[in-house]
A and B are shown apart, each in its own frame.
Chain A
Amino acid sequence: MSTVPLTHILFVSTALFFIGMYGLFTRRNLITMLMSIELILNSVNINFVAFNKYLYPDKLNGVFFSLFIITVAAAEAAVAIAIIINLYRSHRSIDVEGTEEMRF
């Protein structure tokens, strides 16, 4: 076990984070942007668990942080999808170009 150094896990999570950023930059569809945000949150979770495992193996704080992040991400996805469906009802489109009236 654990012959893989910590930096390699961090490289993987960094790559996952920037793949999510690329999706957030290029996509103009709200649902696909939400998927990119999920990828970014997952990379953060990998970081928390890896730091906990490699640097502080006698504590559990990273596990708790990742559990809370998963919970908040689920709530965020549910609220975002409710907003998207409401927006689709009024605008018939879910591109970000059509959402300039959502400021109210």
Chain B
Amino acid sequence: MSATQFIFYLISAFVLGTAVLAVTTRKIFRSAIWLLFSLVGVAGLYFWMQVEFVAAVQIIVYVGGVVVLIIFSIFLTHHSGGELPRPPLKRTIFSMLAVLFGFAFSYNLIAEYGFPTTVAEKPFVVSVSDIGEQMLDTRQYGYVLPFEVVSMLLLAAMIGCIVIAMRSIPQGKAIQKPATPMPANGGNIHSVVETKESMEEKTT
């Protein structure tokens, strides 16, 4: 076994092991961290396949963007450290069976298809300038139309995120809001008493 083979199987084992931990661990924050390791491992696979640009994009977008977004959303929506409930045994067994049968089926298909076992004679060299030229090419085999469509999609997603996550002001509250900051005398005294009580509780 040569060194490249050894490195490939090592990276693959790392990716699959961390992915299994990411979908089975019961703490959601650890799950996000295992997902991060798995994505870094996939970037390592891209480096192994000598497509450095895709590997760099993978690290920047996934590790730097998506996983950080997921961790922030965990902080916003969870009491961090709480455990997820254990899935029912029946669901675990049946999903395991479905996944194993699906994997066996796909394994059989790939193994029987007869992909060429010999390596392609040409070296696979991806330079960033080639990628840039073909991506912004308007002639045949150019990718300028999907490029523009994806840029429109990103703009639409950004505006959509802002609109969805914006806190909408209810109609009744907007009128009542100016009245709340100035409480009556009784309310004021009550709040002072409350703060005194809370301070006493803190000191004791």
Contacts and interface: CB of A to CB of B under 8 A. Distances in A.
Contacts of A96: none
Contact of B73 (A11, A70, A85): A85
A53 B185 CA distance: 77
Nearest to A75: B157
B99 A8 contact: no
A46 B45 contact: yes
B19 A16 contact: yes
B78 to A, nearest CB: 8
A19 B32 contact: no
A15 B85 CA distance: 25
Given A22-B99, A26-B92, A38 B39 contact: yes
A53 to B, nearest CB: 5
A71 B95 CA distance: 30
A81 B72 CA distance: 10
A26 B23 contact: yes
Contact of A15 (B16, B24, B57, B70): B16
B106 A39 contact: no
A14 B87 CA distance: 24
Contacts of B38: 39, 42
A79 B160 contact: yes
A21 B95 CA distance: 8
B70 A77 contact: yes
Interface in B132-179: 134-135, 143, 146, 150, 153-154, 157-158, 160-162, 164-165, 167
19 contacts: A3-B2, A3-B5, A3-B119, A7-B110, A7-B117, A10-B115, A14-B106, A18-B102, A19-B20, A20-B19, A21-B98, A22-B96, A26-B95, A38-B39, A55-B116, A57-B120, A67-B57, A71-B153, A88-B76
Interface of A: 1-12, 14-23, 25-29, 31-32, 34-36, 38-39, 42, 45-46, 49-50, 52-55, 57-58, 60, 63-64, 66-68, 70-79, 81-86, 88-89, 94
